[in-house]
Amino acid sequence: MPETTLAAAAIRWYDENARDLPWREPDVGAWAILVSEIMLQQTPVVRVLPAWRAWLSRWPTPAALAADTPAEAIRMWGRLGYPRRALRLRECAVAIVERHSGVVPTDLDALLALPGVGTYTARAVATFAYGQRHPVVDTNVRRFVARAVAGEPDAGPATRPADLVATEALLPAEPVRAARASAAFMELGALICTARTPRCADCPVTEVCAWRASGRPAPTGPTRRPQQYAGTDRQVRGLLLAVLREATGPVPHERLDLVWADAAQRSRALAGLVADGLVELVGDACVLAGDRPG
């Protein structure tokens, strides 16, 4: 099965089965797509949907966000998780205003130069917002390509240059068609070619999948365990940020002491928030970044 035929089968399936997500609407601009890509990192779609809508309702353009404070970005991020993304997104908005007159750039190198925009996000925006031909490779795409083409049960823990090359080889030559294929590969990996319970019977390329043809061998390396949350520094950081998000002024340390009994872990979590630029110290109190009085 030639690679272009694999892409054609994936696109046909996508046209009939793709989820109806708002950032996929034809009139959605590059800024909205950039916001969705940042929010979707390590976060399920169901949690991103309301946050994405609220964010764009408040800040429909990069200029609108750039004009607001980091503290408001952190507040608006709410409990979406990994709140440093809120700061990176605001820094990105500032750079777009300063370097590109408030318009998300179309050039891949310019996208890569934006704060907080990495290899995947830059290619995703160039592809899904501007219809360019780039390999857009996330965990789902790597797994789908590894199985369908190489016959491997998984693709490893991180994206390698070889993953970009293998995915690009599958893309149709025509840019808009290639962008459609990229979206299809991603959707197949997310819904059908899943890590634990792949639905091979529903896959449009099942008859030619190299992994299925080889008997669906199991991974030989160590299995990644889901990250724990309860009791971790991440949980404590979230509890501290929740108090600061609701506050209208500096929060004394005594108030923060109430959120977690373990003083050493609480202190470590707070120090991490300060180091990450999410929280500022004001005397014997704390505020969100950019919320310092005066």
- Look at the block and give the residue holding tokens 């995915």: 167
How many Å separate Cα 174 from the centre of its chain? Answer: 26
- Look at the block and give the residue holding tokens 């404590």: 236
Give the number of C-alpha atoms closer than 13 A to the C-alpha of residue 74, restricted to the C-beta side.
27
State the catalytic residue, choosing from 3, 16, 37, 168. 37
Residue type, 168: E
The residues with which 282 forms a beta bridge, in sequence order, are 285
Give the helix/strand (H/E) hosting 245: helix 233-246
Q: Are 116 and 91 in contact (CB under 8 A)?
A: yes
Do strands 279-282 and 285-288 pair parallel, antiparallel, or not at all (unpaired)? antiparallel
Give the CA distances from residue 193 to residues 197, 205, 255, in Å, rounded to whole numbers and listed in that order. 8, 10, 47
Q: Are 20 and 211 in contact (CB under 8 A)?
A: no
Token representation of residue 262:
């373990």
> What dihedral angle (degrees, nearest 10) is formed by the CA atoms of 288, 291, 293, 294?
150
Whether 37 sits among the annotated catalytic residues: the reply is yes
- How far apart are alpha carbons 287 and 293 in whole angstroms? 9
DSSP character for 147? I
Q: Are 39 and 88 in contact (CB under 8 A)?
A: no
Closest CA to 125 of 112, 141, 142: 112
Which residues are tagged catalytic?
37
